[in-house]
Copies of this chain bind each other. A is one copy, B any other.
Amino acid sequence: MAAPIDFYFDFSSPYGYFASTKIEAMAAKYGREVNWRPFLLGVAMKITGGAPLPSVPMKGDYARRDFARSAAYYGVDYKLPSVFPIASQAPARAFYWLRQKDPNQAKSLAAALYRAYFVDDINISNPEDTVAVCAKFGLEPDEVRSAINDAAIKDLVKTEVDRAIARGAFGSPYIVVDGEAFWGADRLAQLEKWLASGGWKY
């Protein structure tokens, strides 16, 4: 089987959420696996000097419209969360904890966490809200709560964030396949062209 696709995203990123609803089907079509790798965009922004879109003059108002319009364009359920953006340590820790046990189940959990935040307006930056989403998903609340507070899991997330940044991830989604990087839900069409042609020469 061809090399897997690394899918870097922040749980606070609308464009990461949009891409997350498309990438598994696209990868499957071309016989690829997807490694889901949540990371923390705020750490990357310390390097790039970037700032969350809503706080940038001029860009902020545009971004809010573009989120909603892009959601409609991609046919994805979406509502701007009441609190946005958020720190996403709690969902990232829950994800990587579960991933150690069951990578496929962890992907489904990521989808549930994204949906909780961007459809049901649940503020998953609060550990107890992430615990509640995990409980509804079928996980044991006390186990999730312990994991979110576990120093080893915190270190694991830090390591994954450092690896993502070392790989070049400065935005969300940031998708790498065969050494080629694609930034943004709006690059899914170029990613598909890459996958379809088995390494498009440009």
Provide the residues of chain B in CB contact with A171, threshold 8 Å: 59
Question: Which of the 9-residue segments A28-36, A45-53, A149-157 touches chain B?
Answer: A45-53
Partner of A58, one of B44, B57, B58, B59: B44
Decide if the interface of chain A is mainly helix, strand, loop or mixed: helix
Inter-chain contact A186/B183, CB cutoff 8 Å = no
List B contacts of A48 (CB < 8 A). 56-59
* Residue numbers in B under 8 Å from A95 (CB-CB): none
Closest CB of chain B to A143's CB: distance in Å?
Answer: 36
* Chain A window 152-176, contacts with chain B (Cβ cutoff 8 Å), 1 for yes, 0 for no: 0000000000000100101100000
User: Looking at the complex, which one of B61, B165, B180, B193 makes contact with A73 (CB distance below 8 Å)?
Assistant: B193
Q: Give the residue name and chain of the B residue nearest to A183 (CB).
A: B62
Say whether B69 contacts A202, CB under 8 Å: yes
A51-80: CB near B (< 8 Å → 1, else 0) gives 100001111011001101111110000000
Contact A181–B58 (Cβ < 8 Å) = no
Q: Which residues of A contact B (CB under 8 A)?
A: 44, 47-51, 56-59, 61-62, 65-66, 68-73, 165, 168, 170-171, 180-181, 183-184, 186-187, 189-190, 193, 200, 202
